[in-house]
Amino acid sequence: MNFARNKKGTDKPIEIFIALFIILAIAMLMLRMFSDQLKEKTNELKRQEQKARLDQQKQDALNECNDVCSRVTSNGCDEQSQVSFCLHKIGAGIDLNANGEIRSDEYGEEYAFGACETNVYCPLVTRCDTCGRNLDFKTCFQLVCQFFKDQITGPNATTRVALEMFDRYEFGECLTPEEKANKLTWDTALIPEVSSCLGIPTS
């Protein structure tokens, strides 16, 4: 009888230990679930904040380009003003991948064509419909090329015009040549347009 009583007394601490272990396990599980939910909510708020910042940057860029476009009309639709719109680069850049930073080595596809974050030009942001012209990237490439053709003459003029175009339209270094070959970037359209303008066969 004493042995049975002692065994029963020994079992009680074990039962208490098991109960405490179960309670602790449940508490840890609930804490983990709460922590995961909090982390997910924090990340979601961060994504929303970054998207809102990107939307504001895009709106600022649009306003900037619309202002440059309006000068085309106010300057009497002169060619220089049209070229200025085509070559205008957003001063602050745009955080295209919405990660909270604007970097020269980061690439984004927020617009129709991909671009480096520090090399976003107005024709990528918006069209300038004025003076009977629709200044999108394709039209701008043609216009700017012809503008430099008229400005640059003499020996090696074709080469110098091409170099001037690629100097003014700087894509940046956010992609390697291999990466660029597999992506739709705005400067992939530059080569055939410049080649056509200069009469250089592309094939």
pLDDT in tens, the chain (203 residues): 454 555 555 567 777 878 788 888 888 888 888 777 777 877 788 778 888 988 999 999 999 999 999 999 999 999 999 999 999 999 889 999 888 889 999 999 888 888 999 999 999 999 999 888 899 988 999 999 999 999 999 999 988 998 898 889 989 989 998 888 888 888 877 778 778 888 877 66
> Which residues fall within 8 angstroms of residue 168, CB to CB, at 6 or more apart?
87, 144
Q: What is residue 3's three-state secondary structure?
A: helix
Supply the range of the domain harboring residue 162.
2-198
Q: What is the pTM of this model?
A: 0.74
**Chain centroid, CA 132 distance in Å:** 31
Between strands 133-135 and 128-130, the pairing is: antiparallel
- Residue 203 in any domain: the answer is no
* C-beta separation of 99 from 50 below 8 A: yes
Task: Kindly state whether residue 144 falls inside one of the protein's structural domains.
Answer: yes
User: What pLDDT is recorded for position 3?
Assistant: 47
Whether the CB-CB separation of 121 and 87 falls below 8 Å is answered with yes
Is 19 contained in some domain? yes
Residue 60 lies in a domain: yes
1-22: string of b/e by CB count within 10 Å (b at 16+)? eeeeeeeeeeeeeeeeeeeeee
Overall domain count for the chain: 1
Cα dist. 181→142, 165, 193, 194 in Å? 22, 20, 17, 18
Is 47 within a domain? Answer: yes
Q: Is residue 178 part of a domain?
A: yes
